Amino acid sequence: MGVPYRWQWRIDRWKHAMRGFFGGGEQQPRPKICPACGALVGIHATRCHECGTRLTFSMAALSKRFAGFFGGRAPVTTALLIINILMFGVSVVATMQAGEAGGLRILWGLNGEVLYRLGSSYGPAIFLGRQWWRLVTAMFLHGGLIHIGFNMMVLLDIGPVVEEVYGSPRFLFLYTVAGATGFLLSSLRGHLSVGASGAILGLIGLMIAITTRRGGLSMHALRSRLVSWVVSIFVFGFLLSGVDNWAHFGGLAAGFGLGKVIADRTPVNAAEQKTAYALGWIAAIMILVSFAFMILHFRDPLS
């Protein structure tokens, strides 16, 4: 019986990977594609003859490898989902070690000290303790299973759409800036806060901005649904305790403002592509550095 095409393609890839692993089956060199401008370059070229991008080590090349590792059309959304789930697992384990994860506490009651040590947003720590990294790490923490479940459901619904519009590098930058802005506004109010909802409201703000720049009945209908959704979120935030509407508003406003400034399309030339990759790597480095500071300060005494 014949093997379906998709499985034959997978088998061929596995065979190629195994040959490469064991050093056999030498392959003929093939032309390369520039990761920045998409031009076809020579077999032995190290730079693109069109835009000058280095083909082996550059922001564009690293970004392509990152996207290939996570696969799919929305690799950054997938990466954000994984990081959020991993950090929730760390939070649960740390709460269990503190003896406070019994019963239904996992639904919405993780240990506050654990979340603080893992990088929750808190005004005095940020402004007096100069712990600015909390504006970023707080985006990847959640207070319970219900909290992360709802946020990740919305992220998976909206994230791929926005990522496809702006491209993965700029999407990461927009997501990070919107989330950090939301927590900056929240920290000005002195709140102790965690969650991805500020960044997610930033994505909704971006989508609202897109609908205001494009005409047509479909855009008008989409804008009406988005605005209704935002109103519902804020109404629930006022009715329920523990919801940080300031972080929501900050993320929403930042997303809408960025959506008005940044063109709602993927880069169209090498220069725009390089700028997009630079923004993406700035955001990635911000995240990595913030987590590094969180680890360094994890065991600091609480004041």
In Å, the largest CA–CA distance within the chain is 70
136 by Cβ neighbours in 10 Å (0-12 / 13-18 / 19+) ranks as: buried
Contact 43, 49 (CB under 8 A): no
**Spatial separation of the C-alpha atoms in residues 64 and 158, rounded to whole Å:** 22
- Residue 54 DSSP code: B
The question of whether 168 is a catalytic residue gets the answer no
**Spatial separation of the C-alpha atoms in residues 270 and 276, rounded to whole Å:** 10
Chain-centroid distance of CA 175 in Å reads: 6
Which is the catalytic residue, given 191, 197, 220, 228?
197
Which is the catalytic residue, given 248, 290, 297, 303?
248
Neighbours of 93 (CB within 10 A): 12
The question of whether 197 is a catalytic residue gets the answer yes
**Spatial separation of the C-alpha atoms in residues 80 and 164, rounded to whole Å:** 15
> Which residues are identified as catalytic?
197, 248
